[in-house]
Chains A and B, each alone.
Chain A
């Protein structure tokens, strides 16, 4: 549960290389569409971050949130609202501000919802997500349902020298990729830490965790805040990429897609939801090229995943590897 088996690490490393070297082979494979696909990949990588952050709640702590996009969207609005009108915001203050706002709202939502569990937690988080959606949808200052433009992308410079230019597609691509790896590492670290052990216990049997002396509510709140902050990082990157933010980014559709990515990829495996994000978005792209009703096809895929891969792609990979390693000695009832 705590160590990624070697074959999986190798596979993840390989997939990461495929992504990292895209600029080298993109032109050869996709020709004139290479640049379009790089933007697409950036979007997917950002969704992978969102899905992994949601996995901390769904797969690790056992809290199924249907309002996770609230923080994804909020990050974009904070970026748009706090940026100066005619110059680029410096990333050194705007990024911490965005993350702080997401953490703060995460703490408020967690504090109000954490006493509920199961279906009630799903409904209450959904309600908070929709509250955010309608707040920004109806607010004059944030452009209503049209949303807001972020004319100038955050400026990454140190001592007057520009380090990264986020207007360049490739730079943003690599920045997102680096953030994805960073978030994965952070979540692995949390999982192995003393805090992570308690979360795993809460998922398995919260009553027992309380009985051996943990105030489980506090651990769940902190887990929620961390997940909200990481979702905020994804939202920050997304808003930087699109150059605008609108209410639909925090609506329940987005929360639902993130949840589907987690389920497809395998809740609780952390790397799984990242893979889930890729599979979901690639299928989305392919289905959309056939029909406007791509969600119908996606629904069919979801049903198949739930039926045939109940632990998602990540879970299936893990059991495949473990079967080979232990030749049936360990019984995972």
Chain B
């Protein structure tokens, strides 16, 4: 637990005069589940987008396993071992589950600039696809067209695609957003399982879920880190209660 997997230093992103993420420092320990909390507009998704390379930081740096990621585009960061899922479901709606996950698994090949051999004959990609489908619980839905599945299943598929890229760190942007109670419970179970093998950075609004799975929490407000600590520390923090939890009325 002591080893630092990812370290963000003074990470800043401004859109014109708006500082969406403002000098954020964040350390992720290997093997932990780290949740980010904060009200709407706190900069949580922007932070994840910075870490995954979907947007470029204005300043600051990100180190992952001793490698500098700061200016890398998203496809390179994916190959460094960081996988992500999106807040808004981001899949290939017209393809089947299998085809969705296949494409993610195929990205682990040295190159996909191969023109002659039928793709489906690549046994290792097939195996990785099937393991990932099994892991996210969609094995039985392999041949179902993604757009015809329930919303919850599409969120599972999103996770399956992320797993197929063989990451060591998972960035999950509100995996439970918009889910029903039953689906959320299932997903909390899935996240707990994943936590045994991966390091997780989780953005989540569902407090019960967050406190059930997270080892450490970071609370963000207005693009800045307010406090980082264990769930107990955060629950009892005066500062956090005033800024955020107080408004929820639950703590």
Of A194, A200, A213, A331, the residue contacting B75 (CB under 8 A) is: A213
Q: Are B112 and A192 in contact (CB under 8 A)?
A: no
Chain B proximity of A26: nearest CB distance (Å): 37
Answer whether residue A195 sits at the interface, using C-beta atoms and an 8 A cutoff.
yes
Answer whether residue B64 sits at the interface, using C-beta atoms and an 8 A cutoff.
no
Q: Mark A189-221, 1 if CB is under 8 A from B, else 0.
A: 110111111101100110111111111101100
Residue numbers in B under 8 Å from A212 (CB-CB): 75, 78, 103-104, 107, 161, 164-165
Chain A proximity of B139: nearest CB distance (Å): 19
Residue numbers in B under 8 Å from A211 (CB-CB): 52, 54, 74-75, 78, 84, 86, 90
Q: Assuming A197-B103, A204-B93, A210-B74, is B112 touching A219 (CB within 8 A)?
A: yes
Answer whether residue B179 sits at the interface, using C-beta atoms and an 8 A cutoff.
no
Place the interface of chain B in its size category. 35 or more
Residue numbers in A under 8 Å from B92 (CB-CB): 201, 204-205, 208
Answer whether residue A328 sits at the interface, using C-beta atoms and an 8 A cutoff.
no
Q: Which residue of A lies closest to B112 (CB)?
A: A194
Q: Are A207 and B90 in contact (CB under 8 A)?
A: yes
Q: Are B73 and A200 in contact (CB under 8 A)?
A: no
Q: With the chains together, A208 CA to B162 CA distance in Å?
A: 10
Q: Are B112 and A197 in contact (CB under 8 A)?
A: yes
Q: With the chains together, A216 CA to B74 CA distance in Å?
A: 11
Answer whether residue B79 sits at the interface, using C-beta atoms and an 8 A cutoff.
yes
Q: Are A189 and B115 in contact (CB under 8 A)?
A: yes
Chain A proximity of B54: nearest CB distance (Å): 7
Q: With the chains together, A222 CA to B112 CA distance in Å?
A: 12
Answer whether residue B94 sits at the interface, using C-beta atoms and an 8 A cutoff.
yes
Answer whether residue B145 sits at the interface, using C-beta atoms and an 8 A cutoff.
yes
Q: Are B94 and A208 in contact (CB under 8 A)?
A: no
Answer whether residue B91 sits at the interface, using C-beta atoms and an 8 A cutoff.
yes
Q: Are B75 and A196 in contact (CB under 8 A)?
A: no
Q: With the chains together, A95 CA to B179 CA distance in Å?
A: 59
Answer whether residue B222 sits at the interface, using C-beta atoms and an 8 A cutoff.
no
Answer whether residue B109 sits at the interface, using C-beta atoms and an 8 A cutoff.
yes
Q: With the chains together, A209 CA to B54 CA distance in Å?
A: 12
Chain B proximity of A185: nearest CB distance (Å): 12
Q: Are B78 and A194 in contact (CB under 8 A)?
A: no
Q: Assuming A194-B117, A210-B75, is B91 touching A205 (CB within 8 A)?
A: yes
Q: With the chains together, A1 CA to B103 CA distance in Å?
A: 15
Residues of chain A from 73 to 124 with CB closer than 8 A to chain B in the complex: none
Q: Are B75 and A215 in contact (CB under 8 A)?
A: yes
Q: Are B118 and A200 in contact (CB under 8 A)?
A: no
Q: Are B95 and A333 in contact (CB under 8 A)?
A: no
Answer whether residue B120 sits at the interface, using C-beta atoms and an 8 A cutoff.
yes
Q: Are A197 and B75 in contact (CB under 8 A)?
A: no
Chain B proximity of A69: nearest CB distance (Å): 25
Q: Assuming A197-B112, A333-B145, is B120 touching A209 (CB within 8 A)?
A: no
Answer whether residue A332 sits at the interface, using C-beta atoms and an 8 A cutoff.
yes
Q: Which residue of B lies closest to A215 (CB)?
A: B75
Q: Are B112 and A214 in contact (CB under 8 A)?
A: yes
Residue numbers in B under 8 Å from A331 (CB-CB): 145, 148
Q: With the chains together, A205 CA to B52 CA distance in Å?
A: 17
Q: With the chains together, A210 CA to B74 CA distance in Å?
A: 6
Residue numbers in B under 8 Å from A332 (CB-CB): 94, 145
Q: With the chains together, A164 CA to B74 CA distance in Å?
A: 52
Answer whether residue B122 sits at the interface, using C-beta atoms and an 8 A cutoff.
yes
Of B79, B102, B103, B118, the residue contacting A192 (CB under 8 A) is: B118
Q: Assuming A207-B90, A331-B148, is B95 touching A200 (CB within 8 A)?
A: yes
Residue numbers in B under 8 Å from A201 (CB-CB): 92, 95, 103
Answer whether residue B181 sits at the interface, using C-beta atoms and an 8 A cutoff.
no
Q: With the chains together, A205 CA to B89 CA distance in Å?
A: 11
Of A193, A205, A213, A216, the residue contacting B116 (CB under 8 A) is: A193
Contacts A/B (CB < 8 Å), 19 sampled: A192-B120, A194-B106, A194-B109, A194-B112, A194-B113, A194-B117, A197-B119, A198-B103, A198-B106, A205-B90, A205-B91, A209-B103, A211-B52, A211-B74, A211-B78, A214-B75, A218-B113, A331-B145, A333-B148
Instruction: List 9 other contacts, CB 8 Å, given A196-B119, A333-B94.
Output: A197-B102, A197-B106, A204-B93, A205-B91, A205-B92, A211-B52, A211-B75, A212-B164, A330-B145
A positions within 8 Å CB-CB of B: 1-2, 189-190, 192-198, 200-201, 204-205, 207-216, 218-219, 222, 330-333
